[in-house]
Amino acid sequence: MTTRRARTGDLFAMRAETGKQVDRIPSSRFPVQHEIQHLQKELNAFNDRILELENEGHRSHAMEVLNAKAIDFARQIDELRCLLIGLKKTV
């Protein structure tokens, strides 16, 4: 018997709301924002897969690897956002 992990907020609704705006970022003019968009898509895919496997009851090394990779994507996104904030403060 598996239990569903509690999540805060509605991630699917949040993605649906922001998806149209995020897709409009031109990579040539905004390379950092474009990379953040790419990493967020990857992170969302990993989170979806992790949730799917947790709901099926998987507890393997693959789950640990997926979790570590998702955390790495989140770290990269945070670093890029910090870079953007630093650029805005200097301008």
Residue 67 counted as domain residue: yes
Per-residue model confidence (pLDDT) at position 26: 66
The burial class, CB within 10 Å (0-12 / 13-18 / 19+), for 20 is exposed
Number of structural domains (the chain) is 1
Token digits of residue 72 = 């790495």
Give 4-56 pLDDT, tens digit per residue. 555 555 554 555 555 545 456 666 678 888 999 999 999 999 899 999 999 99
Kindly state the tokens that stand for 62: 């693959």
14 assigned to some structural domain? no
Which residue range forms the structural domain that includes residue 56? 22-90
**CB-based contact 7:44 (threshold 8 Å):** no
34 in any annotated domain: yes
In this predicted structure, the answer to whether residue 1 has a pLDDT above a threshold of 80 is: no
